[in-house]
Structure 1
Amino acid sequence: MHLLSKAEEIVHFLEWAEENGMLFEYDGSKHKIRITYEDARIAELRLPILAEYIPETGQLKFEEKNYILCMVRAGMAAVGYFENGINISHKVFRAYMVRKKQGKSQIKYLKTKGKSRAGSRVRLGESESFFNQINDRIASYMNSYHVDHIGYSCSKTLWPFLFTPDSALQKNKNLLYKIPFHIQQPTYDKLLEINRLIHLAAIKVEESEKAHFATYFKEDSDSSQEDELW
């Protein structure tokens, strides 16, 4: 992977790719440009959150944006509001949702047994409150600020509880942007780290297609650090 930090670097790369016969396909939900050559996908360009790609013209524009980042795991979540990359407000949520012996969230445990036990009822109540608080916080930001994007990271197991019909996320699904990094612990520090990373562009080249980019990139032995986050 190769990271691009400046707007002019991204623009120059796209111009070079177009001049070399490559075609672009934009995926708005992931804010990525898939790059193909002779009908084969050879690379992906993940755009920074402040970049806007216009498929009709193939142009990029950069502008200030407001956005929410929402990172959720069973029993822990971090939600923050950002203006042009600056964190204005944030909240970290915790809930008693994990059964200690099994290390399994109560939501997953419902598929087996234990629903009627007192501890299970407590965990279910905590789980409901947990997701309500997350959506209340997002709704508060939506009501207080103009929001361009809502970046989210959440395992598919938890989607039905986060994206309920009346939730702030579901009502604003046209603004959703899937955070393209794995997040193990959604802490405040991780919220700030993810904010830094989504301001960078990243080019991921298929292993078998590196020859296409040999004249553009030099081998970067330090790029593996970011590969784990892709």
Structure 2
Amino acid sequence: MHRLIKADTLPAFLDWIKIRAIELEYLPSQHKLNIYKDGIRVGALRLPLHYNWEAETGKIWPKETNWILFMVRAGIAAVGYFENGSNISHNVYRAYMVRKKQGKSQIKYLKTKGKSRAGSRVRLGEAEVFFQEIHEKVTSYLRHHPVDMIGYSCSKTLWPFIFNAGTGIDKDDPRLYKIPLHVQHPTYETLLQVNETLQAATLEFEEELSDWFKDSGKPGLSPYPDDEDEQW
């Protein structure tokens, strides 16, 4: 289960946690706190992108943060640069990459004889341009702006085309952050919706623990979709 916590209520929520002698473990790559009680993990708290966590003091505070968000599906992608939550620049890219009858991306057929056909060559050519445009835009943001985090959403099938040598997007970049939402159709509107959601915190816990976390609603929790991946 999930509950959305407004960023400005986080200090109160963490006070609620400390009163109950709960232990917290910070995971930098996910910008998330695992929540433990008596050595047992009882939940997790995904932090807002623009909030810092200090393990020594257990304090959290907002800071000016700049980030890139890019979301890719076969044939459509949205890329944006944000300064402290505000969208400064964005682009949406589209390409003819889907085989009409099968409804699947042409790049899944790279090792089949179908790539020799004219239609397949067109799709593969557009796919190459499509990914090149994404790489160039992300690289441009990284070159011209101070970027603290790089949020991405794409299927593992597309990883070799996104995180490959010479693209400017290093798969080992510590700023990379997997967007914890399922993005079905990455339009500009979706880009803004995802950005807004990532500026709140999300409390995750098992259904059998819902009563245990019930009182935590007092600091300002509101219902959040129960699906593991939010649909856009």
Using the size of structure 2 for normalisation, the TM-score is 0.90
Q: Which runs of 5+ in 1 are unaligned?
A: none
Match of 1:76 in 2: 76
Instruction: Return the alpha-carbon distance in structure 2 between the equivalents of residues 227 and 118 of structure 1.
Output: 41
Matches within 5 A, 1:36-75: 36-75=36-75
Q: CA 1:84/1:21 → structure 2, altered by over 3 Å: closer, same or farther?
A: same
In the TM superposition, residue 226 of structure 1 has moved relative to its aligned partner by 7.6
In the TM superposition, residue 123 of structure 1 has moved relative to its aligned partner by 1.2
Matches within 5 A, 1:187-206: 187-206=187-206
**With CA pairs under 8 Å and 6+ residues apart, which has the higher RCO, 1 or 2?**
2
In the TM superposition, residue 54 of structure 1 has moved relative to its aligned partner by 2.0
SS of aligned partner of 1:123: helix
The C-alpha deviation readout for 1:200-228, integer Å capped at 9, x for no partner, is 1111221122233233337x895337865
Q: CA RMSD in A?
A: 2.1
Matches within 5 A, 1:17-166: 17-166=17-166
Higher mean displacement: 166-175 or 92-101: 166-175
Q: How many residues align?
A: 228
Instruction: Return the alpha-carbon distance in structure 1 between the equivalents of residues 171 and 225 of structure 2.
Output: 38
Instruction: Return the alpha-carbon distance in structure 2 between the equivalents of residues 113 and 53 of structure 1.
Output: 52
Higher mean displacement: 170-179 or 181-190: 170-179
Instruction: Return the alpha-carbon distance in structure 1 between the equivalents of residues 37 and 114 of structure 2.
Output: 54
Match of 2:3 in 1: 2
Match of 2:16 in 1: 16
Equivalent pair of 1:165/1:171 in contact (CA under 8 Å)? no
Q: Which ranges of 4 or more aligned residues in structure 1 deviate by more than 6 Å?
A: none
Q: Which runs of 5+ in 2 are unaligned?
A: none
Q: CA 1:114/1:211 → structure 2, altered by over 3 Å: closer, same or farther?
A: same
In the TM superposition, residue 61 of structure 1 has moved relative to its aligned partner by 2.0
State the AA in 2 paired with 1:215: D
State the AA in 2 paired with 1:35: I
Instruction: Return the alpha-carbon distance in structure 1 between the equivalents of residues 54 and 167 of structure 2.
Output: 30
